[in-house]
Amino acid sequence: MLHGEYEGVKTMYETGTIRVPRPICKEGGDEPFAVYEYLNLSGGGDDFEMGRKLAKMHRCLSPNSMHGFHVPNTIGSTPQSNTWSSTWSDFYVEHRFKAILKSCGGLGYSPPEIDACCAVIATELSRHSPQPSLLHGDLWGGNRGYADGEPVIFDPATYYGDREADIAMTRLFGGYSGKFYEGYEEEWPLEEGFEERRKTIYNFYHIANHYAMFGGMYYNQARQMFDSILNNNYPD
């Protein structure tokens, strides 16, 4: 977990785009640790600039033109496989959708139902075919802030994939202002179809993961999203 997070922060830091805590050192063995720059997060800052700088980070593409990452990591406490794949649809279906369903016991769906939903996702994402952008991977509102007014993101689950997966999570739990999205759109506008379809596909992963970690109310929400994807019936 520490190694995966450290490598993610290091990769983001080296882009020189949006600020992250500077990685200092890490150690494995029986007592592993990682050390980062201390940042005093307080007050607000320029949301427009945060959106613009995140878009700049997303313009940093995979060094091998593939989707994935050079090490596995975690999303919360859930292991996250990042095995390289040449296509985004293959990567997302195998290493995000199927993987998280396995972690939460399939949510009560049968193998044929899961296969059918995988086919819907594969078809949609094959039409999309995004570039493999550097992603934060867990960009809910609690993983961003400001240090002396400068935008900062931290606590990532980094990999290279569709930049819309990051933007989708900013919409899931709130915490981002309209200025953030204005800044992002000015730097790199999103493609048509994100709001209607792909946002639900990508956020299913996070809701199912919350069920895997916390149980409770996330079960019904995850099933509702699964059914929306399977039936091509997306919320407004």
Assign 194 a pLDDT band (cuts: 50, 70, 90): confident
Taking the CA atoms of residue 210, residue 211, residue 215 and residue 221 in that order, the dihedral angle to the nearest 10 degrees is: 110
138 has catalytic annotation: yes
pLDDT at 195: 79
Query: pLDDT at residue 61 above 90?
Result: yes
Q: What's the mean pLDDT in 108-115? A: 96
Q: What's the mean pLDDT in 135-143? A: 96
In a domain, 64, yes or no: yes
Contact 106, 133 (CB under 8 A): no
pLDDT at 43: 75
Q: How far is it, in rounded angstroms, from Cα 234 to Cα 236?
A: 7
Burial class of residue 182 in the structure, from the number of CB atoms within 10 Å of its CB (0-12 exposed, 13-18 middle, 19+ buried): middle
Catalytic: which of 46, 115, 138, 166? 138
Contact 157, 73 (CB under 8 A): yes
For 110, the token pair is 């049968």
Tell me what the pLDDT averaged over the chain comes to.
94
Q: Give the HSE-up count for residue 218: Cα atoms under 13 Å, Cβ half-sphere.
A: 16
State which residues form the domain around 130: 40-230
Q: What's the mean pLDDT in 178-204? A: 91
In a domain, 60, yes or no: yes
In a domain, 13, yes or no: no
β-bridge pairing 150-153 and 144-147: antiparallel
H-state helical runs in 59-177 = 88-92, 98-103, 111-128, 163-172
In a domain, 57, yes or no: yes
The label of the residue with tokens 């994402």 reads 125
In a domain, 99, yes or no: yes
CATH number at residue 83: 3.90.1200.10
* Phi, then psi, of 134 in degrees rounded to 5: -75, 120
Q: Checking phi first, is residue 135 left (phi over 0); if not, alpha (psi -120 to 50) or beta? A: beta
pLDDT in tens, 199-225: 999 999 999 999 999 988 899 999 999
Number of domains in the chain: 1
